[in-house]
Structure 1
């Protein structure tokens, strides 16, 4: 097996995280599923459940079809007080990498701002990702957003 260019892999992962965050922060949710392969897994799960290896998640989407349904729900059917998100994402830690897949862990903070209030810390945790190399570049095969607190404010409407 040929040795991986770890610097290039690292830069590609950084670019993926940067574009992903920019997409969500701009509210371009229709583009969000494009960051994933068709047979993907997206979860938002408490640290307590993740550490205990319990499957309960506050959001669990399997495949792009479920992601597209979530986007439709956010845009067309869910009634909620709109807000802006701002992601602050650490540099990723590459846990393992092959020519086909990259496993990473990356810390995140999401700040929420409603139009008529001060910004607030909304969600803090880490992304645990399996990233697949595709002809269209890197895509998430699995993304688990493990949030640290046992509490969340109200509900999570937008992807993290």
Structure 2
């Protein structure tokens, strides 16, 4: 039964993650992570070659909050909406404190004056830790499949 509970907890965290980003509620995003966390967006090519170069690499909840501040206050960009489509997670490992999972994702971007477009596709590689407030991300690697990205990535994936 614990396996089903773990699966449901991972699904709930993924649902909350997608909902806050798709609604543009970026201030809630850091609360889904532990204080000492790691978030990165990296090409599949670099990930597979074990090269550290990432297009976004944030270490610690403070850096996630800085990113939210940047999105809201300092970055000039053409606003857009995101819509996450996320597969069922594949739980890779479970121990007393942590769950490791891999999940496919697809992000569609819509600018106010254009048609929706495929923005980013890849997989999440997650390490999640159990806390009194439920699962939180210890690390999330967004490994995108293409070697190219459209324009720049402003919002978290």
| TM-score band, normalised by shorter chain | over 0.9
CA distance in 1, matches of 2:81, 2:24: 8
- For structure 2, the 5+ residue unaligned runs are none
- The number of residue pairs the alignment matches comes to 157
| 1:98 to partner: Cα distance | 1.0
CA distance in 2, matches of 1:68, 1:5: 33
Cα deviation 1:105-146 (Å, max 9, x = unaligned): 000000000000000000000000000001111000000000
1:4-153 matched pairs, under 5 angstroms: 5-153=2-150
- Tell me if 1:157 matches 2:157: no
SS in 1 for 2:139: strand
- Which structure 1 residue ranges, 4+ long, deviate > 3 Å from structure 2? none
CA distance in 2, matches of 1:53, 1:84: 32
TM-score, with normalisation over the residues of structure 2?
0.99
CA distance in 1, matches of 2:79, 2:135: 30
